[in-house]
């Protein structure tokens, strides 16, 4: 990996008073809002595995460079290029997309199952691939600037990176609503929905690092000692935490309405219900309806069916299903067109195909669930194995 790639993630080890280390990883692509590239994924994965084996490292801190975003998503430009290079209709031919999704999901799974505490500083924009990095961390912090969302419907994708696992665990049909509308949440609603654990002011980051280095951490990185370190970090964050703005909580305010509008098995009716919010007095609901109306009907169908299909699956199984759907989206869906309209030509006039929910029916969506080769050839086939 070249020097430029190495600079995409900056790593630092901070000395603690008791001789231990705090590992700090900073996504370092502020001009692209720290969008997660394949090189960044590989750097993070390698370093996390090294830190997991280092007996001196007790806590990992993951943050983004700049003051706008922790991570606003994946490297969509590179994915678009790979789709333009492979227009054969054969999803297996897009080696880059298959590799990107597999390694990104494997990194996310590593974070979910990491033995040591991982603290994600979710300041600013946390969307798409950023959600994948944050949702599995043991200690998830939001600030007054946090804007959290899974906005894939606007680019012809679906809430991946384990998004269908997360959204299925939100209260009152909120997960389906957020997946269909890409609605953004602030820190207050993120805490309410269980998508974050603590709220700290963004100017507390330096204080946080100082407090981490001054802690008398347990030296036993297994069993009770490891549990003590996790608990110690929880106590420290609770002491540093503050109350988020209680006037900004649209998800909490509208959860009974969302539960009613998004109930049942009829996607056409659910979509119609959400679109009826276009004239609602709350701008948050208006934006949600507008985003769905302008988004990919195919993405709406894939999201709806994935949430149903994945509801009782393990996390590793969810990543395997999402990988197949992602690969198919790169070959047969609206993904390339969505990126073109939003980021390449920037005309914001995507030509979705299918153009309606009715056309994106249960038969159309089946290809997103069909593995194009033998199961043991799946790149995430062994994900979750304990052997």
d(Cα 245, Cα 187) in Å, to the nearest integer? Answer: 8
Q: Pick the catalytic residue: 39, 75, 160, 322?
A: 160
* Closest by Cα among 141, 123, 116, 140 to 60: 116
- Which residue of the set 35, 74, 122, 333 is catalytic? 74
CA–CA distance, 181 with 318 (Å, rounded to integer):
21
Q: Is-contact 144 110, C-beta < 8 A?
A: no
Out of 108, 152, 334, 337, the active site residue is 152
160 flagged as catalytic: yes
Q: How far, in Å, CA of 305 to CA of 368, rounded?
A: 10
Q: Helices in the chain by DSSP H: which ranges?
A: 3-6, 38-53, 76-85, 95-112, 129-135, 163-167, 174-181, 187-192, 205-214, 223-240, 250-261, 267-275, 283-294, 297-310, 315-332, 335-339, 362-365
Which letter does DSSP use for residue 32 in this model? G
* Contacting residues for 178 by C-beta, under 8 A, at least 6 apart: 149, 150, 159, 167, 170, 185
Instruction: Give Dmax (Cα) for the chain.
Output: 63
List the catalytic residue out of 128, 129, 132, 172: 129
Pairing of the two strands 198-199 and 57-64: unpaired
Which residue from 382, 387, 324, 331 is spatially nearest to 106, judged by alpha carbons? 382
Q: Is 129 a catalytic residue?
A: yes
Alpha carbon separation from 248 to 132, 144, 146, 189 (Å, rounded): 24, 10, 12, 8
Q: Which residue has the tokens 């001789």?
A: 19
Which amino acids are annotated catalytic? 74, 129, 152, 160
């Amino acid at each position: 990996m070249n020097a430029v790639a190495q600079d995409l993630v900056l790593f630092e080890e901070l000395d603690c008073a008791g001789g231990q280390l705090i590992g700090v990883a900073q996504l370092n692509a502020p001009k692209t809002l720290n969008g997660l590239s394949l090189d960044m994924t590989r750097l993070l994965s390698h370093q996390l595995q090294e830190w997991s084996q280092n007996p001196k490292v007790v806590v990992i801190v993951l943050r983004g460079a700049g003051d706008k975003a922790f991570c606003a998503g994946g490297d969509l430009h590179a994915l678009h290029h790979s789709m333009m290079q492979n227009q054969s209709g054969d999803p297996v031919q897009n080696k880059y997309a298959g590799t990107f999704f597999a390694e990104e999901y494997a990194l996310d799974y590593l974070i979910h199952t990491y033995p040591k505490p991982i603290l994600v500083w979710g300041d600013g924009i946390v969307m798409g691939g950023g959600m994948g990095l944050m949702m599995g961390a043991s200690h998830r912090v939001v600030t007054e600037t946090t804007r959290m969302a899974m906005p894939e419907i606007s680019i012809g994708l679906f809430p991946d990176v384990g998004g269908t696992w997360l959204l299925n665990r939100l209260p009152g049909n909120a997960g389906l609503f957020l997946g269909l509308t890409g609605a953004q949440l602030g820190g207050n609603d993120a805490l309410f929905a269980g998508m974050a654990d603590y709220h700290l002011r963004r100017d507390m980051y330096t204080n946080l690092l100082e407090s981490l280095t001054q802690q008398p951490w347990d030296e036993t990185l297994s069993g009770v000692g490891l549990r003590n370190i996790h608990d110690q970090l929880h106590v420290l964050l609770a002491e540093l935490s503050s109350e988020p703005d209680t006037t900004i909580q649209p998800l909490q305010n509208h959860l009974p309405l969302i539960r009613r509008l998004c109930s049942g098995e009829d996607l056409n009716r659910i979509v119609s219900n959400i679109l009826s919010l276009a004239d609602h007095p709350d701008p948050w609901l208006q934006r949600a309806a507008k985003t769905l109306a302008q988004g990919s009907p195919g993405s709406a169908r894939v999201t709806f069916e994935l949430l149903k299909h994945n509801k009782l699956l393990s996390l590793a199984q969810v990543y395997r299903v999402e990988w197949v759907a992602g690969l198919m989206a790169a070959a047969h869906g609206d993904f390339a067109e969505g990126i073109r309209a939003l980021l390449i030509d920037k005309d914001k006039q995507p030509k979705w195909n299918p153009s309606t929910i009715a056309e994106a029916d249960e038969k159309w969506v089946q290809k997103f669930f069909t593995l194009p080769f033998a199961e043991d050839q799946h790149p995430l086939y062994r994900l979750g194995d304990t052997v």
